């Protein structure tokens, strides 16, 4: 009976393994029939949790709980209501600023604005989802910019109402870049960071803007740090995107 | 013990959706160490369905399958 139980469990595990492989195969062959609803569910859940956590952290509830407890009991409800209103206004102001920046960008480049609907930090592949898809005219390969005009990545997968964006500096990606009109290669290391090398003596400074080769209009990174003394043959450049994907809610997709 | 198994699976699921890929990876490892956990496989495939770009190798799924099956001799030896 004990051996039967073991055998049964192993059989279940084997069936689960086959099912999982089949799921991936069906998804690949159907070009997203399974991943599309899974991503939609994930985005909905992420959006709900993200909104709730923004309100809680912005209200200062956890930070000032001890202070509120000491204050007058009759003012507690009024203060909580006012803090909630301030957070709501603050969130809307931040959102409006991003929309204004996006509008300025739209005046120069045709495209659309979309919301980020997943956590880029949670992705092991340097990807995140946005709330626009084929129904909005998006296609694979479209450039995704921050509302301030920095290139964040490219669309790699499109469904009807959502798209998957791969970050420019996803781990393992190589990007051909230019800095002060000098070409070089950047290797992405995830989290918006990348490294590259330039010949010794190249005049590079912290804060220099990096562009993608062939596109001198939209910056992709800024130099954060350089390494290399007189004895080394090259200068190591550490570049990063100045945009923190975890804090922005809108992106602009150039069409 | 089943509630621990469910808690690890839930933590891995929520971690993969909201926080960091390390959480589902640790969840897969812990589940595989103690149980013949089919949910570890589903955690792996879920991460790939959520985040995998096209034409990339489904590392999380393959990693989950490898972890679950490679730990089978250890489970047999020490836990049964």
Question: Is A38 touching B (CB cutoff 8 A)?
Answer: yes
pLDDT at A4: 76
What is the per-residue pLDDT across A101-126, written as a single tens digit (0 to 9) for each?
777 777 777 889 999 999 989 999 99
Q: CA-to-CA distance for A218 and B75, rounded, in angstroms?
A: 54
Per-residue pLDDT averaged across A6-28, rounded?
93
Mark yes or no for CB contact A122/B16 under 8 Å.
Answer: yes
Position A58 pLDDT exceeds 80: no
Q: CA-to-CA distance for B37 and B33, rounded, in angstroms?
A: 9
**B12, B25, B42, B49, best to mutate vs chain A, most A CBs in 10 Å:** B49
pLDDT at A233: 85
Question: Is A97 touching B (CB cutoff 8 A)?
Answer: no
Chain B nearest-CA distance from A173, in A, is 12
For residue A122, give the nearest of B17, B45, B56 by CB distance. Answer: B17
What is the distance of C-alpha B68 from the center of its chain? 8
A217 φ/ψ angles, rounded to the nearest 5 degrees: -95, -45
pLDDT at A237: 93
Q: CA-to-CA distance for A198 and A114, rounded, in angstroms?
A: 36
Contacts of residue A6 in chain B, CB cutoff 8 Å?
76, 80
What is the per-residue pLDDT across A6-15, written as a single tens digit (0 to 9) for each?
888 899 999 9
Among left, alpha and beta (phi > 0; psi -120 to 50; other), residue A122 is alpha
Contacts of residue A34 in chain B, CB cutoff 8 Å?
49
Mark yes or no for CB contact B68/A6 under 8 Å.
Answer: no
Residue A252: strand, helix, or coil:
strand
A92 or A254: which carries more pLDDT confidence? Answer: A254
For residue B61, give the nearest of A24, A42, A119 by CB distance. Answer: A24
Among left, alpha and beta (phi > 0; psi -120 to 50; other), residue B68 is alpha
- Low-confidence residues in chain B, pLDDT < 70: 79-80
ipTM: 0.91
**Nearest one of A204, A250, A249 to A228, comparing CA atoms:** A204
Sheet holding A143-146, edge to edge: A111-115, A250-254, A143-146, A151-158, A163-167, A127-130
Contacts of residue B60 in chain A, CB cutoff 8 Å?
124
């Amino acid at each position: 009976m004990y051996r039967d139980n073991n055998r049964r469990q192993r059989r279940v595990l084997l069936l689960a393994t086959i099912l999982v492989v089949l799921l991936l195969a069906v998804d690949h062959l159907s070009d997203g029939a399974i991943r599309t609803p899974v991503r939609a569910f994930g985005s909905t859940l992420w959006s709900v949790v993200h909104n709730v956590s923004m309100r809680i952290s912005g209200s200062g509830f956890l930070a000032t709980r001890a202070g509120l407890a000491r204050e007058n009991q009759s003012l507690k409800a009024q203060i909580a209501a006012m803090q909630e209103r301030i957070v709501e206004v603050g969130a809307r102001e931040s959102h409006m600023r991003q929309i204004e920046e996006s509008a300025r960008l739209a005046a120069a480049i045709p495209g659309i604005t979309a919301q980020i609907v997943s956590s880029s930090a949670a992705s092991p592949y340097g990807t995140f989802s946005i709330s626009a898809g084929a129904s909005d005219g998006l296609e694979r390969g479209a450039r995704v910019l921050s509302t301030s005009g920095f290139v964040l990545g490219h669309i790699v997968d499109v469904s009807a109402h959502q798209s998957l964006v791969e970050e420019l500096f996803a781990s393992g990606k190589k990007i051909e870049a230019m800095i002060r009109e000098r070409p070089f290669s950047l290797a992405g290391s995830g989290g918006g960071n990348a490294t590259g090398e330039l010949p010794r003596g190249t005049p590079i400074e912290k804060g220099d803007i990096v562009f993608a080769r062939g596109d001198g209009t939209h910056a992709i990174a800024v130099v954060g740090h350089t390494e290399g003394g007189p004895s080394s043959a090259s200068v190591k450049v550490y570049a990063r995107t100045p945009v923190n994907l975890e804090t922005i809610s809108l992106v602009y997709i150039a069409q | 013990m089943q509630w621990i198994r469910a808690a690890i699976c839930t933590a891995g699921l929520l971690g993969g959706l909201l926080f960091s890929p390390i959480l589902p990876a640790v969840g897969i490892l812990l589940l595989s160490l103690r149980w013949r956990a089919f949910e570890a496989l589903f955690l792996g495939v879920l991460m790939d369905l959520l985040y995998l770009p096209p034409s990339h190798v489904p590392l999380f799924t393959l990693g989950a399958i490898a972890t679950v099956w490679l730990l089978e001799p250890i489970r047999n030896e020490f836990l049964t």
